[in-house]
C-alpha cells in the first residue's frame, strides 16, 4: 500500500466530518463519497470537502480497486449491511458508532471479518478525537493514580430537535440510547481498566422529557463489572441551551493512588476545552491538555498497511458492541 485512499458511504451523521478530516491529517487521500438522498449534513460536508467528488453509486466506490478503506456514517441500522458489502469487496472499514444495532448484525460482521481478513473498526470519537483523553492515558500509563479500579463516564447531549432527521426518533433506526451514545463510555471503561470482558450488572433506558416522540430514549445508564474494575455510565439528551457546546462530557478515572477527571468539551467558569484534573499524593492540579496529540488515526493507518492491531484490537471493538447491545436489551426488558 502506498498512499492510503478512502471513500465515504453515508454522511447522515456529522461525525463523518471528523472521521474524514482526521484520516486526511494522517496522510490518507479522500477519493470520493456517496450518500442516499440529500441529508441535512450535505451542504456542510460539501463545503468542508469541496474537491472530493460524489460518486454515482456506492458500488462505484466498492468496485474501485484503488480504494483501501470505507468510512461509514449512514443511518445506524444500515451500517452493518454496508460494512459487510465493503469487506466482501476487499475493503477495510471504519464506521461511526454504533457500528451495528442488533446482535445478529454483530454476528454477521464477526463472520465476515473472519472469512475476509478485513479490518472492521469504529471511531469512538469521545476517546480518539479528544486531546484530554490522550493526556489522561499518558498519566495512567505513567502510574500517576496507581491501578485503575473504576471509571465514571457521562455523555450528555443537546437534542437540537429542529435539525434532527426522522430516523433520529426511530428506535429501530438508531438502535437505542445505550447502543448508540453509551458505546463511547463502554469503550473508555474497557480501555482505562485494561478489561477484555465485562458483565453488565444494571441497565436502564427511558423517555422522560419527550412524550410526543415515543421512539426516542432520552436517558440511559449502565453499571459494569470486570475482573479489573467497575464502571458507571450515564447518557442523556438534556443539555440546556445556555451551555456553549453540545454537551458537558466528563470522565472520572479512579485509581488506588489518586484520580483523574476529564472535562472534555467545557468547564463552566474556565476558558477552552480539554481540562484534565489530576489529584494524587503529591499533585493537585488542572492541566490544559488541548495541545495533546490524537494518535489513533495515524496508528490505524499503519494497522491497515501492516495488518496489525496497534490502534485498537478487533476483539475490543467487538466487545464494546456486544456490551452495548446487551445493556440495551437488559434496559428494555426491565419492568417499567
pLDDT the model gives residue 1: 55
Give the single-character DSSP code of 50. T
Q: Measuring CA to CA, how many Å separate 13 from each of 18, 41, 219, 265, 278?
A: 10, 7, 20, 19, 34
Distance between CA atoms of residues 150 and 253, nearest Å: 6
Per-residue cell: 197: 470482558
Q: How many residues in the chain?
A: 336
- The C-alpha R_g of the chain, in whole angstroms, comes to 19
Distance between CA atoms of 261 and 286, rounded to whole angstroms? 9
Q: Which residues pair with 155 in a beta bridge?
A: 235
How many alpha carbons lie under 13 Å from residue 62 in its C-beta half-sphere?
A: 15
Q: What is the pLDDT of residue 2?
A: 85
Give tens-digit pLDDT for 175-184.
999 999 999 9
Examine domains 5-123 and 126-293+327-333 and report if their fold is the same. Answer: no
Torsion angle of the four alpha carbons 303, 308, 311, 314, in this order, in degrees rounded to the nearest 10:
110
The per-residue pLDDT for 102 is 98
What's the fold here for domain 126-293+327-333?
A: Dihydrodipicolinate Reductase; domain 2 (3.30.360)
User: What does the alpha-carbon distance between residue 38 and residue 36 come to, in Å, rounded to a whole number?
Assistant: 7
Q: Are strands 219-225 and 199-206 parallel, antiparallel or unpaired?
A: antiparallel
**5-123 is classed CATH 3.20.20.450:** no
Q: Where are the domains of the chain?
A: 5-123, 126-293+327-333
Nearest to 48 by CA among 58, 33, 62: 33
Helices (H), the chain: 15-25, 42-48, 58-62, 76-88, 103-116, 125-128, 131-141, 171-174, 177-180, 183-193, 296-306, 314-333
Per-residue pLDDT of the chain in tens (336 residues, 90 and over written 9): 589 999 999 999 999 999 999 999 999 999 999 999 999 999 999 999 999 999 999 999 999 999 999 999 999 999 999 999 999 999 999 999 999 999 999 999 999 999 999 999 999 999 999 999 999 999 999 999 999 999 999 999 999 999 999 999 999 999 999 999 999 999 999 999 999 999 999 999 999 999 999 999 999 999 999 999 999 999 999 999 999 999 999 999 999 999 999 999 999 999 999 999 999 999 999 999 999 999 999 999 999 999 999 999 999 999 999 999 999 999 999 776
CA–CA dist 81, 108 (Å, integer): 9
* Distance (Å) of CA 113 to CA 58, 84, 88, 150, 208: 20, 8, 9, 32, 39
Amino acid at each position: 500500500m502506498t498512499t492510503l485512499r478512502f471513500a465515504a458511504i453515508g454522511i447522515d451523521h456529522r461525525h463523518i466530518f471528523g472521521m474524514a478530516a482526521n484520516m486526511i491529517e494522517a496522510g490518507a487521500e479522500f477519493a470520493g463519497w456517496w450518500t442516499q438522498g440529500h441529508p441535512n449534513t450535505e451542504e456542510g460536508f460539501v463545503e468542508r470537502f469541496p474537491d472530493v467528488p460524489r460518486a454515482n453509486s456506492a458500488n462505484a466506490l466498492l468496485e474501485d480497486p484503488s480504494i483501501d478503506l470505507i468510512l461509514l456514517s449512514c443511518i445506524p441500522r444500515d451500517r452493518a449491511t454496508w460494512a459487510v458489502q465493503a469487506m466482501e469487496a476487499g475493503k477495510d472499514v471504519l464506521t461511526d458508532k454504533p457500528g451495528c444495532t442488533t446482535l445478529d448484525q454483530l454476528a454477521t460482521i464477526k463472520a465476515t471479518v473472519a472469512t475476509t481478513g478485513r479490518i472492521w473498526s469504529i471511531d469512538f470519537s469521545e476517546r480518539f478525537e479528544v486531546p484530554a483523553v490522550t493526556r489522561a492515558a499518558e498519566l495512567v500509563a505513567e502510574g500517576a493514580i496507581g491501578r485503575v479500579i473504576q471509571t465514571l463516564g457521562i455523555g450528555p447531549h443537546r437534542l437540537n430537535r429542529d435539525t434532527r432527521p426522522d430516523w433520529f426518533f426511530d428506535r429501530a433506526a438508531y438502535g437505542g440510547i445505550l447502543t448508540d451514545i453509551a458505546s463511547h463510555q463502554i469503550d473508555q471503561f474497557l480501555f482505562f481498566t485494561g478489561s477484555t470482558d465485562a458483565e453488565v450488572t444494571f441497565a436502564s433506558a427511558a423517555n422522560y422529557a419527550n412524550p410526543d416522540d415515543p421512539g426516542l430514549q432520552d436517558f440511559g445508564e449502565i453499571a459494569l463489572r470486570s475482573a479489573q474494575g467497575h464502571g458507571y455510565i450515564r447518557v442523556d439528551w438534556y443539555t440546556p441551551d445556555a451551555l456553549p457546546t453540545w454537551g458537558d462530557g466528563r470522565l472520572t478515572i479512579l485509581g488506588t493512588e489518586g484520580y483523574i477527571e476529564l472535562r472534555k468539551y467545557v468547564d463552566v467558569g474556565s476558558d477552552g476545552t480539554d481540562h484534565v484534573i489530576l489529584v494524587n499524593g503529591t499533585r493537585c492540579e488542572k492541566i490544559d491538555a488541548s495541545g495533546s496529540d490524537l494518535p489513533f488515526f495515524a496508528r490505524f493507518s499503519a494497522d491497515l498497511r501492516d495488518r496489525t492491531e496497534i490502534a485498537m484490537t478487533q476483539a475490543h471493538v467487538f466487545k464494546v458492541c456486544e456490551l452495548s447491545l446487551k445493556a440495551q436489551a437488559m434496559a428494555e426488558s426491565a419492568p417499567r
